[in-house]
Structure 1
Amino acid sequence: MSAARYPVLELRQYTLHPGKRDALIDLFDRKFVETQEAVGMAVVGQFRDLDDPDRFVWLRGFQDMPRRAEALSSFYGGPVWKAHRDQANATMIDSDNVLLLRPVDGQLGFPTPESARPPAGARSLPSSLIVATLYHRDGPFDETFVEFFDRHVQPIMVETGATPLACLQSEHAENTYPALPVRTGEYVFVWLSRFASLDHYRDHVQRLARSQRWQDEVLPELSAMLAGSPQQLRLAPTARSLLR
């Protein structure tokens, strides 16, 4: 397996003023994709949260923590952000819900995109759905948990139609760009999967509910290893999202 494409990632969840999500997405897809990538970061994907009309979710990746600081300093100190920050910030109530993540073993990063990013001005929305499942724990997700996930959870997910795209966990390195806060003191394991459509996702949920092995064996053992119920984000890619 090849090395991770994005050794450091941010999962960013923005709470927006009611009715402002499409305005932010339009601005983001026009002005903030290529301009961020030009200074050394990767805009991995941007999404509408299907379960919250006022939430915008996106992922960006970096080569390492020092270069994260350099890229963020260049972008947020540069002319494009300065020209449009007031317009962007006016859509937001909160932009500090940010998880700093890394691939679980240095290799389970996102696969190479199947196609190029649609050009600026694209309006056609993908039919696909990206689902991010967040597990929480009171301590680190160790090799025992990762092995359990690989041997027992992932195979059932694949059998029922949810092939994981990436498995990530908390990156506890010091925030190298403190002007943008990140959540600290948490242990999170995130896995992302793709579905061809919302109907395919619903079929997966039904098949999982009918799986006796999942319900009687794997789910109880998994739940015992976690702190609280998992959080699931059902994410519809924007017209220009690379992850789709």
Structure 2
Amino acid sequence: MEPPAVIEPPTVIELRQYTLRPGRRDELIELFDREFVETQEDVGMVVLGQFRDLDDPDRFVWLRGFGDMAVRHDALAAFYGGPVWAEHGPRANDTMLDSDNVLLLRALSDTTGLSPAAAPLDTTGLTRALAFAVSPSERPCPGAPAPDRFVSATVWSFPPGREGGPALIRDGLVPALRRTGPGPLAVLTTETAPNTFSRLPVRTGENVAVVVGSYPDEEAYRRQLAAVQADSLVRDEILPGVEREQTAAPRTLRLAPTGRSLIR
């Protein structure tokens, strides 16, 4: 089946972090990129990105998206109950020690209540920037070399049920990122709907904001980070506000895309 040239940005996203048996990450990536990309998309989901974690040689990180929670249930049931997973799933599972570190997320695309820092921006453009926009037709073929790119995914954690932290990320930090360099590929927050596919657990009791960015290399990422931190509004108001809200220090995943990752 030919992949669509463009798709609607997925509104439900899984951020999946797998801890693997030592030395087996490349084995899983080769299998995944060959067998588990188009076959998942054929049943209604989109494989957004596959990555090597630069801080852990035995961690594989990937994201996939769905149109909504009902689509997610039906797509997962079709794939994990289908012939491809029956044939190749046991080998994939054999590479893993843990596959339950999963954040169930949604695109943070509401532009209501924008702060003065965001006012000069085109809010339509801001909305587009908060959700992944991908074209599966542009995905390289199996065996393609990994691109020389750097992807960051920074996760902030806040008390469950409180919207202040994610709103500060959306209304304050995202405009600062757009002012100082490439805007984020997506800004995500916790999907609060119950996990209706219990065969695949997700982390519960979470309230996070996740900002995903892409750069030519890690040095470009560090330059933008320094520029954002030097911004007076960010330094004096936004970051102190985020720190008052957060329950833990933010964690940044430093990621290298695989050859077939759409996010790169």
- The TM-score, its normalising length taken from structure 1, stands at 0.90
**Residue 47 of structure 1, CA deviation:** 0.6
- Residue 44 of structure 1 aligns to a residue whose secondary structure is strand
d(CA) in 2 for partners of 1:18, 1:137: 33
Identity %: 50
Question: Which residue is equivalent to 1:134?
Answer: 155
* Aligned-residue RMSD, C-alpha: 2.1
Question: Which residue is equivalent to 2:41?
Answer: 37
Can you list the C-alpha shifts for 1:9-33, whole angstroms capped at 9, x where unaligned? 1110001111111110000000000
Q: Residues 167 and 117 (structure 1 numbering): CA distance in 2 closer, same or farther, change over 3 Å?
A: same
Among 76, 79, 84, which residue is 1:72 paired with?
Answer: 76
**Residue 141 of structure 1, CA deviation:** 4.7
Q: Is the CA contact (8 Å cut-off) linking 1:129 and 1:196 kept in structure 2?
A: yes
**Residue 210 of structure 1, CA deviation:** 4.3
Q: Is the CA contact (8 Å cut-off) linking 2:165 and 2:246 kept in structure 1?
A: no
Q: Please, which runs of 5 or more residues in structure 2 have no aligned partner?
A: 1-6, 111-126
Question: Which residue is equivalent to 2:28?
Answer: 24
Counterpart of 2:141, as a letter, is: P
Question: Which residue is equivalent to 1:240?
Answer: 260
Aligned pairs, how many? 240
- Residue 147 of structure 2 aligns to a residue whose secondary structure is coil
d(CA) in 2 for partners of 1:209, 1:149: 13
d(CA) in 1 for partners of 2:75, 2:174: 34
Q: Is the CA contact (8 Å cut-off) linking 1:113 and 1:243 kept in structure 2?
A: no
Can you list the C-alpha shifts for 1:197-244, whole angstroms capped at 9, x where unaligned? 122113223434544543343322221121110111111110000111
d(CA) in 2 for partners of 1:115, 1:71: 20
Counterpart of 1:174, as a letter, is: P
Question: Which residue is equivalent to 2:102?
Answer: 98
d(CA) in 2 for partners of 1:42, 1:112: 9
- Residue 157 of structure 2 aligns to a residue whose secondary structure is strand
Counterpart of 1:194, as a letter, is: S
Q: Please, which runs of 5 or more residues in structure 1 have no aligned partner?
A: none
Question: Which residue is equivalent to 2:235?
Answer: 215
Counterpart of 2:138, as a letter, is: A
Most deviating of 100-109 and 79-88:
100-109
Counterpart of 2:154, as a letter, is: T
d(CA) in 2 for partners of 1:114, 1:159: 29
- The TM-score, its normalising length taken from structure 2, stands at 0.83
Among 196, 199, 204, which residue is 1:176 paired with?
Answer: 196
Counterpart of 1:189, as a letter, is: A
**Residue 148 of structure 1, CA deviation:** 3.1
**Residue 180 of structure 1, CA deviation:** 0.6
Among 139, 143, 147, which residue is 1:117 paired with?
Answer: 139
Q: Residues 8 and 161 (structure 1 numbering): CA distance in 2 closer, same or farther, change over 3 Å?
A: same
d(CA) in 2 for partners of 1:205, 1:58: 23
Most deviating of 102-111 and 23-32:
102-111
Question: Which residue is equivalent to 2:205?
Answer: 185
Can you list the C-alpha shifts for 1:129-185, whole angstroms capped at 9, x where unaligned? 12111111113352x545533442123223333521111111121211101101111
d(CA) in 2 for partners of 1:152, 1:182: 29
